[in-house]
Amino acid sequence: MKDHKLSYLLPIRSVIFLLVFVIGSLVSGKEPADISNWWTIVATVVNVFTIILLVFAAKKKGMTYPELIGYKKGGTKISQIVIISIIVLVIGTGGMYLAGYLCYGVLPYLSPMMIAPIPMVLAIINFLPLPITTALAEDGLYLGCGVNHIENKVLAIIVPAFFYALQHCFIPTLFDARYIVYRFLSFLPLTLILCRYYYKKRNPVPIMIGHALIDLMTVSWVLATSIDPGFYEMMVNM
């Protein structure tokens, strides 16, 4: 019988991101929107915390992190990686554009804060850590502790996918209902597909690689705007 206790960890990232941005706003004396550009740095720190938490949670259950996520050496084909990477790119981008149109009436819509510049040195340092740690943290949590630890077939897909999408509502945190709905709808189609795929295949590798690649695109935008803030202004005004 599966141990349901690990599935209780699913809301933790949503709670942490919410607290970090609320406390950050209070400490800095700024509105949450004014510190939203720091989301990439915050995400990497929270990712590292999540990975450590998963390692300890797995150890407590007599498992390793690879066992938690169902990793099997040599069980992945290049074709699987290519297919899932394309799915992540197409569904991920399509979901954001569709959600942007539904919530803001703009097509294509890109939330400006997601590519806002940060100090260039930090953008360079965080270029690889963000996509790598995000794949290990998010997929480890929602697939390993979610899909792998909920017995009911339907709930094993829907519940982790829900929290997988929900966390994005608080990365970064803005107290704006339309923004929250936009972020949730942007990711829900993709998280449902990924959780369904993982439920059938039990192979996290293609998902993690596809996930890291799309996040690599995001940090590339952030790096570009951090190197040339004028580029950010041009993108916002397009």
Q: How far apart are CA 109 and CA 230, in angstroms?
A: 20
Q: pLDDT digit string (tens) for 57-67?
A: 999 999 999 99
pLDDT at 86: 96
Considering only residues 2 and 31, tell me which one the structure prediction assigns the higher pLDDT: 31
Average pLDDT over residues 76-91: 95
Residue 234: which pLDDT band, with cuts at 50, 70 and 90? confident
Helix, coil or strand: residue 170: strand
Three state DSSP letters for 94-113: HHHHHHHHHHHCCCCCCCHH
Q: Is the pLDDT of residue 231 over 90?
A: no
Degrees to nearest 5, angle at CA 42 with 196 and 101: 55
pTM for the model: 0.93
Identify the band that residue 104 occupies on the pLDDT scale cut at 50, 70 and 90: very high
Per-residue model confidence (pLDDT) at position 238: 62
**Residue 55 pLDDT more than 80?**
yes
pLDDT of residue 74: 86
122-167 per-position pLDDT tens digit = 999 999 999 999 999 999 999 999 999 999 999 999 999 999 999 9
1 pLDDT higher than 50: no
Residue 3: pLDDT above 70?
no
Q: Are 158 and 7 in contact (CB under 8 A)?
A: no
- The CB density around residue 167, as the number of other CB atoms within 10 Å, is 26
- Confidence class of residue 109 from pLDDT cuts 50, 70 and 90? confident
Dihedral pair phi/psi, residue 106, rounded to 5°: -125, 135
For Cα atoms 175, 177, 180, give the angle at the middle one, nearest 5 degrees.
Answer: 85
Rounded Cα distance between 94 and 153, Å, is 27
Asked whether residue 2 carries a pLDDT value surpassing 60, the answer given is: no
Residue 4 predicted with pLDDT over 70: no
Selection from 73-87, 111-125, 127-141 with the highest mean pLDDT? 127-141
